[in-house]
Amino acid sequence: MDEKSYYSRLFIALVMVLLFGVIVLQYVCPTSDCQLLHLASLSSRFGSRAPGDRADGASTGDPYSSEDGALARFVPRFNFTSKDLNRVVHFNIKEDDVIVFLHIQKTGGTTFGRHLVRNIQLERPCECHAGQKKCTCYRPGKRDTWLFSRFSTGWSCGLHADWTELTNCVPSFMSNRESQEMRKTPRRNYYYITILRDPVWRYLSEWRHVQRGATWKASKHMCDGRLPTLNELPSCYTGDDWSGCTLEEFMACPYNLASNRQTRMLADLSLVGCYNLSIMSESQRWAVLVESAKRNLRNMAFFGLTEYQRKTQYLFEHTFRLSFIAPFTQLNGTRATSVEVEPETQRRIRELNQWDVELYEYARDLFLQRFQYARQQERREARQRRLQERRKLRAKVRPWWGTTGKNVFNPTKAPQQTEQYSVMSFPEKQVDTEKKLEREPEGQVEDNWLEEDDSETMLDYLENVEQWR
C-alpha cells in the first residue's frame, strides 16, 4: 500500500468519526442551547479561555464592558432610588421560598428557563430526564419544589400566564400541592422574575412563530376570576391557525395580542377592567397599563434583557446568591434578525408597539443602573477587604518593631534614599497608605483599584450616582 492511499484512508476514517460524533451529540442533546451548555462546560473543563482572560484565571479587562454592542458610555435617564437599584433578596431554597418565572413569548425565555433547571449549582440539582419536558426541582431534604416555571411545574396557571394570572394562581396552586403539615408553615415568599426583549425584534419573532403555525390557544387570559368573552378578545384568523400570514396581515389585525404584549403581560389588568375595552378610552387604558407594568417590573425580584446575556447572568447571580455552571452565550442570529425589514416597516412596528417601546427603554435604563450599582457594591466590598488585610498586616509588623508601635531605632539623620526600600520605609509607607484609605469618604470608590479594571460605563455611573440618592 502506497503512502498516498494510506493518508486517503486515514482522512476518510477521521471524517467518519467526526460525523458519528455529531450524530451522537444531536441524539443526546438536540437543542442548540443545550449544546452550548455542553460546549461551555467542556471549554472550561479543558482550560479554554474567553477573550480577555489570562492563563492564571484573572481577567485583563471588564468582561461586561464590550458585551452586546452596548454604548461606550451609558447616560441614565430615570431617577431610581437606592431601594430600586439594590436588588438582593434573601432567597432560602431550603425553606419555603419560590422563584416564579413569568415567561413572555419570544423573549428568549425558553433558553433562560432551561438555565434555571439545568445550569445552576445546587446542593440538590434538578432531575431532568431525556424525553421529558419537565424537570423535578426539589429542595434539599424535601419533596417540595422551589421553582415555578414551564420546565418545573409546567403551564400550571395557563400557557404563558401573565402577571395578573400568576399572582392570583400561584399561591393557591402551591398551597394545593402542600401536605397538611406543610400548610401550617409560615407564608411563602414568592420571587417573580422575567425576561424582556427589544419590542421590534420580539414582534418580528412572534410573527415568524405564528407564520409557522403557533397559536397559543391554550392561554387562559384569566382576569378577575373569569375568562374573556369572544367579543372582548376576538381572533385574528378563522381557521385552525394563522400559518402563512404575511407581515402586513399580522400588523393589520387590531386584536393581535402581539402588539404591546410585554406591557400587557406585566401590568395588572384588573386596573382597566381586564379585556373590557368599553370602560375607558384606549389612550387612558394604555397609560394605566404601562405605569402598572413599570411598577411591577421595578418591584420584581429580578428581570433580565435578551440583548444583555452576560449582564443578565451576573444580576441573577448577584440577586439570588446562586451561581450558574456555564456562562450565558449571546446569540444574535435568530430567525427575526434574518428578516429583511424596510425602515418604514420598522417604524410602523414601533408605532404599533409604542407602549412596549416605552416600557423597554425604562427597563433597559433600570437594568443597566442595577448592573452598575451591583458592580459598585462589589468594589466597595473589595476595598473594605483590602483595608482589613492591611490592618492585619500592620498588626503583624508592629510586634517586630515593638509593642508600642514605635521604632526602637530612631536615627537623628534620615537614611540615605536608595533604589530599594530600607527596613524603616516599608512600615511607615504601609501606615500612611492605610490612614489615607481611612480618610476617604465611604461613597468614594474611584481609587487606583477601580481604575485598573473598569469601563467607561461604570465611570459615568460613579460621576452621577450621588445626585440620584
By annotation, the residues acting in catalysis are: 160
Grid-cell match 412563530, residue found: 209
Beta strands 98-102 and 190-196, pairing class: parallel
Phi/psi of residue 302, nearest 5 degrees: -160, 145
What the block records as the C-alpha cell of 66 is: 464590550
Answer for the pair 319, 377: CB distance below 8 angstroms, yes or no: no
List beta partners, residue 305: 196
The count of residues in the chain is: 469
In angstroms, the CA 214 to CA 335 distance is 15
Identify the CA nearest to 370 among candidates 321, 322, 319, 327.
319
Euclidean distance between the first and final Cα of the chain, in Å? Answer: 81
Residue 325, SS3 per DSSP: coil
Q: What torsion do the CA atoms of 290, 294, 295, 296 make, to the nearest 10 degrees?
A: 100
Distances in whole angstroms, Cα of residue 90 to Cα of each of 48, 70, 116, 319: 34, 31, 18, 8
Residue 377, SS3 per DSSP: helix
Answer for the pair 25, 35: CB distance below 8 angstroms, yes or no: yes
In angstroms, the CA 147 to CA 142 distance is 13
